[in-house]
Amino acid sequence: MTDITFFYDPISPYAHLAFERLPEALMGHSVQVRYRPVLFAALLKAHGQLGPAEIPAKRNWTYRHVSWLGHHHGVALDMPAAHPFNPLPLLRLGLACATDDAPGETNRYVTELLFRHVWRGGLDAADPVRLAELQALLQDHVAQRGKLWNAPDSEVVKQRLRANTDEALALGLFGVPAMVVDGRVFWGQDALPMLRAYLDGDSWFETQWGAAAQRPEGVRRPQA
């Protein structure tokens, strides 16, 4: 069985698209997917980048693009009432459901609830009433499994998120979604066919994966 770690932040529409299409991409392979929420903004800050929604022209394109991708792939995607928003409450709610044997992971059901909270219905993802309803649903899920619920604002949960984000940075991640398998990073929902090819044993990965990235820099822009 192959382990795949899926790093995500529910603020990302591309992560939502990748999550919904992942089962199709993995069909026929014996895999275990570990879903790890991270703070996308922290990845951007570490690399000195702005998010797509923080650049006006790119923001417009991003929203049009993901809406089209949802339409093209048959994935329901409704833009939330406001975007970007603060995803910390959602990230912490997810990790409040994590178990002691996998403290940095959310199971697929919990991950799905987080994404659909944002990307279904066109509602306000940061609405306190909706967040309270989601928390009640997640607490019930944890109770039914006989597991321990940790308060979303507890230090335990906050540390889980920090640890996940630190792990992502140590792996060289710069955005979400990112799928990591055998030390290889596949970034973005459009990398799903590439991930599939790797799992299928495409020989390109033996001859070109490393070579493709080995290029000298011809010029480097000075940092502002």
Q: For the stretch 125-146, what's the b/e string if a residue is b when 16 or more beta carbons lie within 10 angstroms of its beta carbon?
A: bbbeeebeebbeebeebbeeee
pLDDT, tens only, 77-121: 999 999 999 999 999 999 999 998 999 999 999 999 999 999 999
- The secondary element (H helix, E strand) that includes residue 135 is helix 128-144
Question: From CA 77, how far away is CA 70, in angstroms rounded?
Answer: 6
Q: Containing H/E element for 184?
A: strand 184-187
Global pTM? 0.96
Phi first, then psi, for residue 213 (nearest 5°) are: -95, -5
Dihedral-angle region of residue 31 (phi above 0 means left; psi in -120 to 50 means alpha; beta otherwise)? beta
Locate the domains of the chain by residue range. Answer: 2-208
Q: Give the H/E segment covering residue 8.
A: strand 2-8
CB 70 within 8 A of CB 6: no
Q: What pLDDT is attached to residue 160?
A: 97
Question: 3-class DSSP state for residue 134?
Answer: helix
DSSP-derived secondary structure letter, 54: G
Handedness of CA 111, 62, 87, 102 (dihedral sign): positive
CA angle 98, 103, 108 (to 5 degrees): 45
Query: Is the pLDDT confidence value at 199 over 90?
Result: yes
Report the alpha-carbon distance of residue 23 to residue 28 in Å, rounded: 10
pLDDT on residue 224: 61
Tokens of 72: 């093209």
Instruction: Indicate if the pLDDT at residue 223 is higher than 80.
Output: no
Q: How many CA atoms lie within 13 A of 128 on its CB side?
A: 0
pLDDT of residue 207: 94
Q: Which CATH number is 2-208 given?
A: 3.40.30.10
